[in-house]
């Protein structure tokens, strides 16, 4: 199976460096334009299905990428973004000042990041492992997966056997850029990892 992974397009909160998590904000004009450009680039890819996070920013991106193609667009809760609770909707740098210890763990000690009542990186790994197990049970030969920065990082890390403590060994990928993975008998080969983000507003 070929798996094409795409992070959603740029959102208004990306521009404002606000943490999104389980909350949402709409795509910016750039985000929609980038998705349209990628949609044109992949219009001839033979896809059996598109799987998307049900969150608005990912789903809007997925619909743009699907275009008029008569293929199923399946929403999967396991592809949603890591929830960051009280940080959601807040400016990232403000959270660094207000919660330095917690943000440090979030960024540099992910295996120790365990906010009360919220998801840990281990929880996200468990989610994406469940998604991959379900995917292997299908007869799909090629699929497009539209999700979020942390979740796609988790998917790629699980595929490459990278443990939670090394979660940030490879940075988040840019929005609307393709990562390509080949799967055979439950083994994964990451052919291409999308370009990394260069700043906080994407």
Predicted confidence (pLDDT) per residue in 178-197, tens digit: 999 999 998 999 999 999 98
pLDDT at 115: 85
Give the predicted TM-score (pTM) of the model. 0.94
Catalytic residue among 8, 99, 111, 189: 8
The token pair that represents 194 in the structure block: 């999308």
Q: Is 148 a catalytic residue?
A: yes
Q: Is 189 a catalytic residue?
A: no
SS3 assignment, position 112: helix
Q: How confident is the model at residue 202 (pLDDT cuts 50, 70, 90)?
A: low
Per-residue pLDDT at 13 exceeds 60: yes
List pLDDT tens digits, range 157-183. Answer: 999 999 999 999 999 999 999 999 999
* Residue 41, CB-side half-sphere exposure with 13 Å CA sphere: 11
Classify burial at 58, counting beta carbons within 10 Å of its beta carbon; exposed 0-12, middle 13-18, buried 19 or more: buried
Phi, psi for 2 (deg, rounded to 5): -100, 130
Per-residue pLDDT at 201 exceeds 80: no
Answer for the pair 26, 56: CB distance below 8 angstroms, yes or no.
yes
List pLDDT tens digits, range 112-152. Answer: 998 888 899 999 999 999 999 999 999 899 999 999 999 99
Catalytic residue among 99, 104, 111, 148: 148
Classify burial at 11, counting beta carbons within 10 Å of its beta carbon; exposed 0-12, middle 13-18, buried 19 or more: buried
Return the bridge partners of 180, or none.
4, 192
Mean pLDDT across the stretch 65-74? Answer: 96
pLDDT at 43: 93
List pLDDT tens digits, range 28-65. Answer: 999 999 999 999 999 999 999 999 999 999 999 999 99
Phi, psi for 94 (deg, rounded to 5): -65, -40
């Amino acid at each position: 199976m070929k798996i094409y992974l795409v992070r959603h397009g740029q959102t208004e909160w990306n521009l404002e460096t606000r943490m999104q998590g389980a909350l949402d904000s709409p795509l910016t004009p750039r985000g929609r334009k980038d998705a349209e450009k990628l949609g044109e680039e992949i219009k001839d890819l033979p896809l059996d299905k598109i799987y998307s996070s049900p969150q608005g920013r990912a789903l809007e991106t997925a619909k743009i990428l699907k275009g008029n193609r008569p293929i199923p667009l399946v929403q999967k809760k396991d592809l949603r973004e890591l929830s960051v609770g009280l940080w959601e909707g807040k400016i990232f740098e403000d959270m660094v000042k207000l919660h330095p210890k917690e943000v440090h763990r979030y960024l540099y000690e992910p295996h120790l990041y365990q906010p009360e009542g919220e998801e840990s990186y281990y929880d996200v790994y468990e989610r994406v492992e469940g998604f991959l197990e379900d995917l292997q049970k299908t007869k799909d030969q090629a699929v497009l997966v539209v999700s979020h920065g942390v979740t796609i990082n988790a998917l790629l890390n699980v595929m490459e056997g990278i443990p939670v403590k090394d979660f940030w060994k490879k940075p988040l990928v840019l929005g609307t850029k393709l990562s390509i993975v080949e799967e055979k008998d439950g083994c994964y080969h990451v052919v291409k990892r999308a370009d990394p983000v260069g700043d906080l507003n994407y």
